[in-house]
Structure 1
Amino acid sequence: MQSIQNLKVIIVGAGEVGMNVAMKLGKHDEIEITLIEADESRSALMQASLDCNHVQGSGLDPENLRLAGIYECDLFYALTDADEVNLLACQLAKEMVSRHLSERLNDHDDEELGDHLDDSLNDEVLSPCPPLGEQGRQKYSEAHSASERLYLYARVRSESLYEHVQMLFPSINAIFPERACSRKLDELFHYQQVFDVVELESNRLKLYGLKIHPNSQVVGQSLKDFTSDHQLTIAAIARKSENTRFQARVLQIPWAEYEMQAHDEIYLATTPKTLHLIHDIFASQDENDRLSSIAIAGETSVALNVFFRLVSRSNRRLENEGNEVNAEGTRKAISLITGDEKVAEKVEQSDFRGQATVVSGSLTDIAKLAELGVGPKSTLLISGSDEDNLICALLARELGCERILIVNNREQYAELIDHLGFDGIFSPRQLAVNEMVHQSLKHLSKSAFDIASSEDIEVRSFVVDPGSALCGLALKDLTTVGFPRKFAVIAALKDPDDELHRMPTGQDILQAGSVAYIVAKSADFHNINSIFGRRRSRFRLWRS
């Protein structure tokens, strides 16, 4: 991937996703942003609220792309609500850059040819050249190859279209937020105590959010004693604030003697394999506390994707074992309630082998929810309209549902849902924003810029440069160079010659090329940036 000092980013579409991407990227001095928006009122709002360049007009107009600076662009995001506009805008951007580079190559060759003619007016024969068609194709091929330095990202809302985008448009990185949300929820259904997953290294290293059950064997244990027996790092802990009306939680960096308590929400860095081995330690030791049913409410692509994944897994287990069981060894019922009768009919036509129940009804009908088994010992995923989701969650709580997961796309509802104490909030739009911000920051080779000075907690990965004073330094001695040990945790470490990450101790030595994942409050990263210098990526914890 290209590593550069400054980024030129163009965003087409100033909707909720586009505006959020622009606001997050706008906090970094190394990133120059230009927003293109066709709607006049939205464009006026954009200009009044965002400190970045603006172009009012269609992202499919070459003149608007030219005004936005497409020829100097590094990353191009097409984030409108129309899939066809996003894909065409990316294709247009690529074609314009290719043609521009081809013209520059031709101009350069014309200058060289003119100089050659001036110096050889008496030459009788010019050097042979390839046929015009072949020459043109060669120049275009060179320009096309050079244009690959422009990274193209298109938001895609149609699941059926998303399946074909990579084949039809190989140069475009399609972002389908609902697919990412479904995968995340799928992992949560597999582990009862998990409420969040941050993927640091694909399938190798993750930061898991787990809730400690009151009957868990870890209650009362100190972090120092617990982590000494396991390959993991507990990087952050959220505990209910005693002085708040709602169930607000305070996320903090823990210390070694910190004792885990019932209902604590902890973030631990480890491998998927290790989580599989230790997950049950955080769950109840009483078999009667295990959840026995799953209900999904809604007809969105997220709801249906998760439902079919669960049913498919159930059927595979039925084939392999002759009896569908969950990880705790008990049968798990799966049900779906949808307000769309056509969706219900379509789903019912599938062969579930008796593993699932489908009901057509309103998400806000408490009788229907009870009929589906929503209550004690059940998990409920809600993914309908944002307003229905909130009402459905409150009704499920009234029925005694023990685990409630909500898909929410309205940013203004997120804090309320969190304060009401539900078990998980998942926003496909926010996942899309986070992914695009992450992709942008990956291109910056340095991190000499400020993050928002808030109490949010983030995870960032740093690479130790060969000339850094950190080379050869033990982690326990980082305080000698100003590392804020009381407010930051090195959650994982990977040396250049290692394939796997390890959960570090104070005795570990930093080497040139070592990758360190650091968890800290945003405000404390200013000093950490100056210590480590080069930063590779950044993640934000959703609870912050």
Structure 2
Amino acid sequence: MNILILGAGQVGETAAESLAGEEAHQVTIVDQDEVVLKKLQERLDARTVVGNASHPEVLERAGAKDADMIIALTNSDEINMTACQVAHTLFETPRRIARIRATEYTNHQALFKNGVFSVDFIISPEELVTEYIEELIHFPGALQVLEFAEGKVRLVAVRAHEGGALIGHPLKELSQHIPNVECRVVAIYRGGEGIIPEGDTVVEEGDEVFFIAARKDIRAVLSEMRKLDEPIRSVVIAGGGNIGVRLAQALEDSNDVKLIERRSERAKVVSESEKINKTMVLKGDATDETFLLEENIDSADVFVSVTNADEANILSAMLAKRLGAHKAMAVINKPAYTELVAAGTIDVAISPPQITLGTLLAHVRRGDVVKVHSLRQRAAEAIEAIAHGNASESRVIGKAIEDIRLPLGATISAIVRGDDVMMAHHDTVIESDDHVILFILDRRQIDEVERLFEVG
């Protein structure tokens, strides 16, 4: 697939790194910063074009006429929308995706559905990050909670700790511990190495365990991996930007929420906003120890830092944790920082580029792939693919899972058939229109997995 990526910021760079590393794609990156593009070209197999991404001449030089898809990820909503319109009108680019942050646009879907702006799919990183944090707050103890099949099933990552009933026991005993719960452990990371688990695999303290289960069963499975945390009641949010306000709005009806904003004018705007009603807005510096102590940070169930500065997020989350906050989370855009804090004081490092990447990949994957989650700094993927066709034209329909030629490191974890969620077993037979959930330990195998779900 010939793909144009407009914008070489953190999200654009992450998308380019992922797509340029796949043999099936030819990637061109457009940005106005020549220095940034030169650095990208030195380490990626991708073309680069310097210029304004919405200008017809720049898009022509980038090859918009021959492109299969344009992904507009600049920091300007207006440039992204205009670029998609220009690509559609002048170059007939078939598929157009735009990053649009302002709710002033996204609240008016008629702008996009009625052809005013030729955008096929809108991506809002702020909305995706907000939903991601919401899930973590709903399931205390989880490192990740990822949705499939419109919420019918979730993939959860958890750190195994002493107190979990299954620690030191083989996985085959899981069904004895929670006999009425359907779940499947799909991968274990131990010392940074991925393991495809079998029945005799023993869960050890410190393992990062990925399991799949229906939403209603998640807490039961979590209790097998660690001592269950109490439900979260008090949440402190550092940062009154788009994510902070969205998160406060989402949580304030079910939690006691405080929002800290350093800038006086912004704090006033947020406190007077009609979007939030019950949240206590505080003007202050979340990296100030005295301020946090005065606000009783030690009584907070969760402290989450969502400012625009990675360094401030890391420092404030580390400080809040040291001062007694039960759980500390930080939004971190730079991959190098994410890896540094992954095993440190901060409980959860949240990567907006990685969260956004999964949504982008769902539009790039071949076959009817409807959901993609990028995992472990893009080393692994979990996908949801729909099986189409019949036994004569499909590589999976009518076959038992044990007879499907999956690449090494890829496993079918669950199947959603209508409203029914089924954990995959070796003799489970795939039927037409099944939603198949797969875990791929090594994303380099994704091409082979995609081909399995192509018809013909």
- TM score, norm. by length of structure 2: 0.83
Give 2:452's aligned amino acid.
R
Secondary structure at the counterpart of residue 298 of structure 2 = coil
1:323 corresponds to:
none
The alpha carbon displacement at 1:515 in A equals 4.9
Give a deviation string over 1:184-228, Cα, whole Å, max 9, x none. 111111111222122332222321123445334444443212146
The 8 Å contact of residues 489 and 520 in structure 1, kept in 2 or not, is answered as yes
The structure-2 alpha-carbon separation of the partners of 1:56 and 1:457, relative to structure 1 and needing over 3 Å to count, comes to closer
Query: Which of these residues, 293, 296, 304, is aligned with residue 381 of structure 1?
Result: 304
Matches within 5 A, 1:223-242: 223-227=171-175, 229=179, 230-239=181-190, 241=191
- Does residue 406 (structure 1) correspond to residue 324 (structure 2)? The answer is no
Matches within 5 A, 1:218-257: 218-227=166-175, 229=179, 230-239=181-190, 241=191, 249-257=192-200
Give a deviation string over 1:420-452, Cα, whole Å, max 9, x none. 15221212233223322331124689xxxxx9x
The alpha carbon displacement at 1:524 in A equals 7.9
Secondary structure at the counterpart of residue 28 of structure 1 = coil
The structure-2 alpha-carbon separation of the partners of 1:51 and 1:279, relative to structure 1 and needing over 3 Å to count, comes to closer
Give 1:275's aligned amino acid.
I
The structure-2 alpha-carbon separation of the partners of 1:259 and 1:47, relative to structure 1 and needing over 3 Å to count, comes to closer
1:24 corresponds to:
18
Higher helix fraction: Structure 1 or Structure 2? 1
Secondary structure at the counterpart of residue 375 of structure 1 = helix
The 8 Å contact of residues 381 and 443 in structure 2, kept in 1 or not, is answered as no
- Give me the whole-angstrom Cα distance separating, in 2, the residues matched to 1:353 and 1:158: 17
Give 1:296's aligned amino acid.
I
The alpha carbon displacement at 1:87 in A equals 0.9
Query: Which of these residues, 248, 261, 265, is aligned with residue 307 of structure 1?
Result: 248
The alpha carbon displacement at 1:34 in A equals 2.4
Give 1:255's aligned amino acid.
E
The structure-2 alpha-carbon separation of the partners of 1:523 and 1:93, relative to structure 1 and needing over 3 Å to count, comes to closer
Matches within 5 A, 1:85-124: 85-97=79-91
Matches within 5 A, 1:42-61: 42-61=36-55
Report percent identity of matched pairs.
24
The 8 Å contact of residues 464 and 510 in structure 1, kept in 2 or not, is answered as no
Matches within 5 A, 1:62-461: 62-97=56-91, 150-164=94-108, 166-170=109-113, 171-172=118-119, 173-212=121-160, 214-227=162-175, 229=179, 230-239=181-190, 241=191, 249-275=192-218, 284=227, 292-314=233-255, 333-349=256-272, 356-375=279-298, 378-384=301-307, 385-442=309-366, 456-461=379-384
The 8 Å contact of residues 37 and 57 in structure 1, kept in 2 or not, is answered as yes
Give 2:134's aligned amino acid.
D
The 8 Å contact of residues 407 and 445 in structure 2, kept in 1 or not, is answered as no
- Give me the whole-angstrom Cα distance separating, in 1, the residues matched to 2:258 and 2:53: 43
The 8 Å contact of residues 461 and 535 in structure 1, kept in 2 or not, is answered as no
Secondary structure at the counterpart of residue 362 of structure 2 = helix
The alpha carbon displacement at 1:178 in A equals 0.7
Task: Tell me which structure has the larger Cα radius of gyration.
Answer: 1
The alpha carbon displacement at 1:179 in A equals 0.6
The structure-2 alpha-carbon separation of the partners of 1:348 and 1:502, relative to structure 1 and needing over 3 Å to count, comes to same
The structure-2 alpha-carbon separation of the partners of 1:59 and 1:470, relative to structure 1 and needing over 3 Å to count, comes to closer
- Give me the whole-angstrom Cα distance separating, in 1, the residues matched to 2:445 and 2:420: 25
The structure-2 alpha-carbon separation of the partners of 1:377 and 1:176, relative to structure 1 and needing over 3 Å to count, comes to closer
Give 1:302's aligned amino acid.
I
Alignment RMSD (CA, Å): 3.4
Secondary structure at the counterpart of residue 214 of structure 1 = coil
- Give me the whole-angstrom Cα distance separating, in 2, the residues matched to 1:64 and 1:350: 40
Give a deviation string over 1:35-85, Cα, whole Å, max 9, x none. 223333334334434322333332233233233332332211112122211
Give 2:237's aligned amino acid.
I
Secondary structure at the counterpart of residue 357 of structure 2 = helix
1:505 corresponds to:
425
Give a deviation string over 1:250-301, Cα, whole Å, max 9, x none. 443222123334554321112223336655565636x8x6655322122222
The structure-2 alpha-carbon separation of the partners of 1:258 and 1:370, relative to structure 1 and needing over 3 Å to count, comes to farther
Give 1:183's aligned amino acid.
E
- Give me the whole-angstrom Cα distance separating, in 2, the residues matched to 1:311 and 1:305: 10
Give 2:183's aligned amino acid.
L
- Does residue 491 (structure 1) correspond to residue 413 (structure 2)? The answer is yes
Q: Give ranges in structure 2 of 5+ residues lacking alignment.
A: none
Q: Give ranges in structure 1 of 5+ residues lacking alignment.
A: 1-6, 99-146, 242-248, 315-332, 446-450, 537-544
Query: Which of these residues, 38, 45, 56, is aligned with residue 32 of structure 2?
Result: 38
- Give me the whole-angstrom Cα distance separating, in 2, the residues matched to 1:21 and 1:50: 11
Give 1:93's aligned amino acid.
A
The structure-2 alpha-carbon separation of the partners of 1:268 and 1:405, relative to structure 1 and needing over 3 Å to count, comes to same
Give 1:163's aligned amino acid.
N
- Give me the whole-angstrom Cα distance separating, in 2, the residues matched to 1:441 and 1:488: 16
- Give me the whole-angstrom Cα distance separating, in 2, the residues matched to 1:11 and 1:352: 33
1:4 corresponds to:
none
- Give me the whole-angstrom Cα distance separating, in 1, the residues matched to 2:20 and 2:444: 20
Higher strand fraction: Structure 1 or Structure 2? 2
The 8 Å contact of residues 303 and 381 in structure 1, kept in 2 or not, is answered as no
Give 1:397's aligned amino acid.
K
The structure-2 alpha-carbon separation of the partners of 1:207 and 1:161, relative to structure 1 and needing over 3 Å to count, comes to same
The 8 Å contact of residues 464 and 513 in structure 1, kept in 2 or not, is answered as yes
The 8 Å contact of residues 338 and 361 in structure 1, kept in 2 or not, is answered as yes
Secondary structure at the counterpart of residue 533 of structure 1 = helix
Secondary structure at the counterpart of residue 24 of structure 1 = helix
Secondary structure at the counterpart of residue 14 of structure 1 = coil
The 8 Å contact of residues 416 and 435 in structure 2, kept in 1 or not, is answered as yes
Query: Which of these residues, 401, 404, 407, is aligned with residue 475 of structure 1?
Result: 401
2:5 corresponds to:
11
